């Protein structure tokens, strides 16, 4: 193994790409939790659903149909979930929410198997993004760069919306103190609904962009769930800063751990999580102090 610049650039980009994928997933989950105090373990299933929708839609209208329509479809599923289950579970404790969404994981796992079968599906990368780009002395797949760019763009957009617009201020107020926000005339319930739908759409988007990289299987939602939860717990619940910081920490620790210390790699991230929880039990950048 040569530890030259190319190696670091390659692994750095890999880490960044993993981080951005996790960011797309964790931002929805963390804001839903911060705003609604709702623990949605089924977020990973929505991601899997996004990948399946994208795979199916790509069969009809090519990659971009899946890319744009899968998030919309997943948001639609989110609307159904919200009105059927989640609105009713709002006032229950975290325990009941964990269990209901755990049940949802079971149900959605088998529903995807029922509709799409057990075999893995694959999507082709669109031609525009199919090649490789020379960068920092290495050749890097364009599609992975596209994911990094997409993640950064979404981050910038969310940072702008949350930090600079009125609805962002309302969301932050709701996360900080929902009762007070409601007293000030903010329709917190509607806000919840919007945030939940956007979170679902982002999960669907993550699934759609991940589909060409990984094979689309029913248990992909379960596999991504633990990393996503680790990200939001390391980062601290409810904040954009926490989500991006947690994603970057996870992505880099996981990627560089795997190449530099393969024996320790898988234990490393959990040890890091345990250490964070011991030192700062509410994560690094929680939305509330």
| Least separation in angstroms between CB 241 and other proteins | 18
| Least separation in angstroms between CB 245 and other proteins | 16
| Least separation in angstroms between CB 255 and other proteins | 16
Residue among 180 and 226 whose Cβ is closer to other proteins: 226
State the residues that interact with other proteins by CB under 8 A: 33, 39, 85, 88-89, 92, 94-96, 98-100, 102-111, 113-114, 222, 226, 229-230, 233, 237, 263, 266-267, 270-271, 273-274, 277-278, 281-282
Q: Which of 251, 243, 221 lies closest to 113 in space, CA to CA?
A: 221
| Least separation in angstroms between CB 281 and other proteins | 5
Query: CB-based contacts of 34: which residues, under 8 Å, 6+ apart?
Result: 175, 237, 238, 239, 287, 288
State the Cα–Cα distance between residues 157 and 180, nearest whole angstrom.
27
Residue among 201 and 247 whose Cβ is closer to other proteins: 247
Residue among 109 and 240 whose Cβ is closer to other proteins: 109
| Least separation in angstroms between CB 201 and other proteins | 23
Q: Are 232 and 281 in contact (CB under 8 A)?
A: no
Query: CB-based contacts of 141: which residues, under 8 Å, 6+ apart?
Result: 131, 132, 133
State the Cα–Cα distance between residues 182 and 238, nearest whole angstrom.
18
Q: Are 238 and 31 in contact (CB under 8 A)?
A: yes
Residue among 39 and 200 whose Cβ is closer to other proteins: 39
Residue among 157 and 267 whose Cβ is closer to other proteins: 267
């Amino acid at each position: 193994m040569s530890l030259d610049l190319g190696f670091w650039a390659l692994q750095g980009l890999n880490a960044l790409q993993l981080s951005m994928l996790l960011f797309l997933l964790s931002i929805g989950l963390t804001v839903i939790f911060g705003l609604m105090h709702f623990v949605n373990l089924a977020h990973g299933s929505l991601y899997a659903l996004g990948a399946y929708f994208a795979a199916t839609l790509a069969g009809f209208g090519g990659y971009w149909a899946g890319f744009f329509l899968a998030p919309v479809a997943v948001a639609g599923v989110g609307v159904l979930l919200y009105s059927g289950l989640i609105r009713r579970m709002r006032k229950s404790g975290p325990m009941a929410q964990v269990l209901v969404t755990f049940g949802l994981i079971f149900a959605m796992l088998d529903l995807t198997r029922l509709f799409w079968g057990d075999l893995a599906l694959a999507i082709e990368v669109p031609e525009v993004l199919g090649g490789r780009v020379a960068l920092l002395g290495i050749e890097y797949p364009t599609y992975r760069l596209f994911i990094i760019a997409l993640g950064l763009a979404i981050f910038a957009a969310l940072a702008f919306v949350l930090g600079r617009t009125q609805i962002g201020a309302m969301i932050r107020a709701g996360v900080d103190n929902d009762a007070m926000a409601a007293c000030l005339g903010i329709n917190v319930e509607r806000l919840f609904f919007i945030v939940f739908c956007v979170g679902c759409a982002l999960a669907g988007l993550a699934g759609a962009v991940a589909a060409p990289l990984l094979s689309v299987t029913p248990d992909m939602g379960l596999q991504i769930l633990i990393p996503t939860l680790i990200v939001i717990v390391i980062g601290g619940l409810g904040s954009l800063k926490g989500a991006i910081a947690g994603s970057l920490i996870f992505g880099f620790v996981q990627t560089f751990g795997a190449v530099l210390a393969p024996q320790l790699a898988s234990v490393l991230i959990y040890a890091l999580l345990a250490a964070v929880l011991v030192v700062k039990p509410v994560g690094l950048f929680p939305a509330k102090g």
